[in-house]
Structure 1
Amino acid sequence: MAVGTRLSLQLADFGTRSLLTHTFMALGFVGAVVSGLFVEGQLGIISMTAFINFTAGLWIAQSIHSLGNAATEEEYQGVLKELLNRV
């Protein structure tokens, strides 16, 4: 019998976590572009820098997470393959 909620069981799958991380990275990058183009002055520069740093931090976390998953027996072949399998 599995312990945990349905959401926690879905998040146990590396592919689901990877898709979520890539979604947050895309949103962070879009936020950086929008704030860089449409927010004026120092606030725009600071917001753009914060969004870029957030996106870079997620990228590093995903890279480390992927390296850790490579040691397992799981058949993960990248986020694009994962997305194509779910569509």
Structure 2
Amino acid sequence: MPVGSRLSVRLADFGSRSIITHVLMGIGFVGAVVSGLFIEGSLGVISMVAFINFTAGLWICQSIHSLGNAATDDDYNGVLMEVLNRVY
């Protein structure tokens, strides 16, 4: 019997974590664009830079996570194939 909740067991799959990370990166990038376009002054610039840094940090984490997964025998082929496999 696995330790943890059902959600943590489902997130143990690399593809699920990858999809969640990519969704968070998308939200961060959209936040950067929205805050850069619609918030005026230095608050808008600071917000945009913070969202860009958050997105870049997630990108680096995902890259390191993908490199670590390459050493395993997992059949992960990237987030796009993961989404296509879940849709079809």
State the Cα distance separating 1:4 from its structure 2 match. Answer: 1.9
State the Cα distance separating 1:59 from its structure 2 match. Answer: 0.1
> What does 1:60-75 align with in structure 2 at a 5 Å threshold?
60-75=60-75
Mapped to 2, the partners of 1:83 and 1:39 lie a distance apart of 33
So what's the TM-score if we normalise by structure 2?
Answer: 0.97
Pair 1:44 & 2:44 matched: yes
State the Cα distance separating 1:2 from its structure 2 match. Answer: 2.2
Mapped to 2, the partners of 1:85 and 1:4 lie a distance apart of 26
Q: Which residue of 1 aligns with 2:32?
A: 32
Moved more, 31-40 or 1-10: 1-10
> What does 1:14-29 align with in structure 2 at a 5 Å threshold?
14-29=14-29
Give the letter aligned to residue 84 of structure 2: L
Gaps of 5+ in 1: none
Give the percent of matched residue pairs that are identical in Structure 1 and Structure 2: 75
Pair 1:76 & 2:76 matched: yes
So what's the TM-score if we normalise by structure 1?
Answer: 0.98
Mapped to 1, the partners of 2:44 and 2:30 lie a distance apart of 13
Gaps of 5+ in 2: none
Aligned length: 87
Mapped to 1, the partners of 2:31 and 2:5 lie a distance apart of 32
State the Cα distance separating 1:53 from its structure 2 match. Answer: 0.3
Runs of 4+ residues deviating >6 angstroms: none
